[in-house]
Chain A
Amino acid sequence: MNDAQTLAVEVVGVEQVTPLIKHFKLAPVGGGSLPVFSGGSHIIVVMRAADRVHKNPYSLLGSPSQLETYEIGVRRMEESRGGSHYMHDRVVVGSRLEIAHPVNLFGLDKIARKHVLIAGGIGITPFLAQLEDLHGGAVPYELHYSVRSAEHAAFLERLRRREGERLHMYHDSEGQMIPFETLLAAQPLGTHVYVCGPAGMINHVINTARSCGWPDSHIHWEQFSAPPVGDVFEVFLARSKISVHVPHDQSLLESIEAAGVEVPYLCRGGVCGFCHTRVLELDGELVHNDHFLSDADKAKGSSIMPCVSRARCKRLVLDL
Chain B
Amino acid sequence: MLIAMPDGSRREIAGENIRIEDILKQLGINPEEVIVARNGKIVPEEETAGGSDELKIVRFVHGG
Partners in one complex: no
